[in-house]
Amino acid sequence: MTYTLAQLDALKRALATGERRVSFGDKTIEYRSIEELQAAIRTVEDELARASGVPTTRQIRIDTRKAT
């Protein structure tokens, strides 16, 4: 799905005001929790970044220990 900055702004406004219902044009979505709304924001941000060609940042941690 293609997302817009207007949709991202609407999601962030809803989060800032504590709302769980967001409207995009003629569609209204009610999220079950703030966590679900935050996940939607992350998804839209990731998709917009991917569409603009910004590489996804990944972090890899390696933990090594010497056996005794």
Radius of gyration of the chain (CA): 17
pLDDT in tens, 1-54: 689 999 999 999 999 999 999 988 899 999 999 999 999 999 999 899 888 887
Give the whole-angstrom CA distance, residue 29 versus residue 57.
29
Instruction: For the chain, give the number of residues.
Output: 68
- Tell if the pTM clears 0.75, that is, is over it: no
**Structure tokens that stand for 19 in this block:** 């709302």
State residue 17's pLDDT score.
94
State residue 5's pLDDT score.
93
Give the whole-angstrom CA distance, residue 30 versus residue 21.
4
Under 8 Å between Cβ of 12 and 18: no
